[in-house]
Homo-oligomer: A and B are copies of this chain.
Amino acid sequence: MKARVIVTLKNGVLDPQGQAIEGSLSSLGFSGVSGVRQGKVFDLEVPGTDEDAARSQIKEMCEKLLANTVIENYAIEISH
Contacts and interface: CB of A to CB of B under 8 A. Distances in A.
Number of copies: 2
Interface string A23-40: 011001011111111111
Interface string A1-44: 01000111000000000100110110010111111111111111
Given A35-B43, A38-B40, A40-B41, 18 more contacts: A8-B41, A21-B42, A22-B44, A24-B65, A28-B61, A28-B65, A30-B57, A30-B61, A32-B46, A33-B47, A33-B61, A34-B44, A36-B44, A38-B41, A38-B42, A39-B40, A39-B41, A40-B40
- Chain A contact surface mostly: mixed
A45 interface: yes
